[in-house]
Amino acid sequence: MGNDWKSLVKKYSGFQTPAVRLLVNNVDVISTLHVAIDQINLSMSLMQANSVQFQVLNAFDVESRMFSGTIKQTFGLGNILKLELGYDSDLTELFHGYIAEVNYIFQETPSIQITAFDVRRVLMESVHQNLAYQSQSYSDVFETVMKKYHRFYDTLMIDHTEKQFEQIVQKNSDYRFIQDELCIKANREFFMVGGTVYFRTPEKAKETVAALDWGEGLMSFQKRESQCNQIIRVYGMADDRKEQLSVEVRIKTPHASDAWEIMKEYQYPDMVGEAKIRRVAEAIAKKLKPEYAGGSGSCIGLPELVPGKYLRLGYLDTEQPVEYYIRQVSHSFGTGGYQTQFNVAAEIER
């Protein structure tokens, strides 16, 4: 495997020289403007907007008691920010978004705190009450929505769907519309890594980006299981569009008692026919299952660890290494070095 621990140690020359590149409107602000950055915290998720936060330390002039106008303009609201992390010159772009908040902090050493989000934050704030899309596939509608925000990403990676409807109406934010309507009905997951936005079949990429073991890159790991056998019941319409039809899908947590199950019901009256209703039920089950089996851990800083990929962890109360699906990642870079924390999901029965 190309990304086992020995390969990673070799690739990054023993992890001796953590490195960062920060670009604002495609200008490398660290090397060009000699900006001093402290404690970069990057949060990445399948279900929430990615965000990055850091402080600029050398922006304040003591004599004039003013922050540098050049630095204030560079980190202006709405400017496009990109973050690359890695070692030496081997860097990976992990974040592409916009500066959403600037805080000027007056303390012993005045500084500027910068917070940036990816495009999903803009989608959350854009709300429509009665916007209709005519005669399109779910993937076409997704592309139509995202084109409005093209400045906030580089590439759309779309698993296309067939034409499924005559009309679909949006009555909420662009983000909720994509997550609750398009992703559920088309069985897709929607997330962003670096400058690429994904609308793809869930857990499609089977690539294992790293294989770690306790003491070999892996600093800590906490495995989680919770009692939650569930029945997902979705109501739609029969093929004749006259009778209501329901489909059930079960979720079973490993080692859970069979004594009881939780029932969750959903109404999708625009879904016609058993096949379409079942697809919706299975999509809902996929979204729910990571809540009940998985884990969290920390390791040496690895830019390979991003949402939507697989991480292999070896022999942690198991006879064989286990593949986990990465759902959330935090990358921290500062005076303490470069570390990564992650939240992963394990496969459960369905």
Q: Is 201 helix (H, G, I), strand (E, B) or coil?
A: coil
Q: How many CB atoms lie within 10 A of CB 75?
A: 21
CA 97 to CA 135: how far, in whole Å?
Answer: 32
Average pLDDT, rounded, for the chain: 89
| pTM of the complete model | 0.86
pLDDT number for residue 63: 87
Say which amino acid occupies 164: Q
pLDDT number for residue 256: 63
Beta strand pairing call for 208-214 and 310-314: parallel
Q: What is the pLDDT of residues 248-289, one digit of tens each?
A: 888 776 666 666 777 889 888 888 888 888 888 888 887 776
**pLDDT higher than 90, residue 332:** yes
CA distances from 96 to 38, 99, 308 (A): 19, 10, 16
CA 82 to CA 115: how far, in whole Å?
Answer: 12
Split at pLDDT 50, 70, 90, the class of 348 is: very low
**pLDDT higher than 80, residue 236:** yes
Q: What average pLDDT does the segment 47-69 reach? A: 93
% of the chain surpassing 70 pLDDT: 93
Angle, CA 184 vertex, CA 180 and CA 185 arms, to 5°: 115
Angle, CA 123 vertex, CA 122 and CA 126 arms, to 5°: 90
pLDDT number for residue 254: 65
CA 241 to CA 238: how far, in whole Å?
Answer: 5
Q: Is 346 helix (H, G, I), strand (E, B) or coil?
A: coil
Say which amino acid occupies 107: Q
Split at pLDDT 50, 70, 90, the class of 290 is: low
**pLDDT higher than 90, residue 97:** yes
For 184-291, list the strands marked E by DSSP. Answer: 189-193, 196-200, 208-214, 217-225, 230-237, 244-251, 262-272
CA 81 to CA 100: how far, in whole Å?
Answer: 10
Q: Where are the alpha helices (DSSP H) in the chain?
A: 5-11, 29-32, 69-74, 119-125, 138-147, 174-176, 184-186, 274-288
Nearest CA to 28 among 83, 69, 72?
A: 83
Split at pLDDT 50, 70, 90, the class of 242 is: confident
Split at pLDDT 50, 70, 90, the class of 347 is: low
Nearest CA to 60 among 20, 101, 104?
A: 104
CA 44 to CA 49: how far, in whole Å?
Answer: 7
**pLDDT higher than 80, residue 203:** no
**pLDDT higher than 80, residue 57:** yes
CA 92 to CA 185: how far, in whole Å?
Answer: 33
Q: Which two tokens stand for residue 4?
A: 């086992």
Q: Considering only 78-87, 109-118, 162-171, which range has the smallest mean pLDDT? A: 162-171
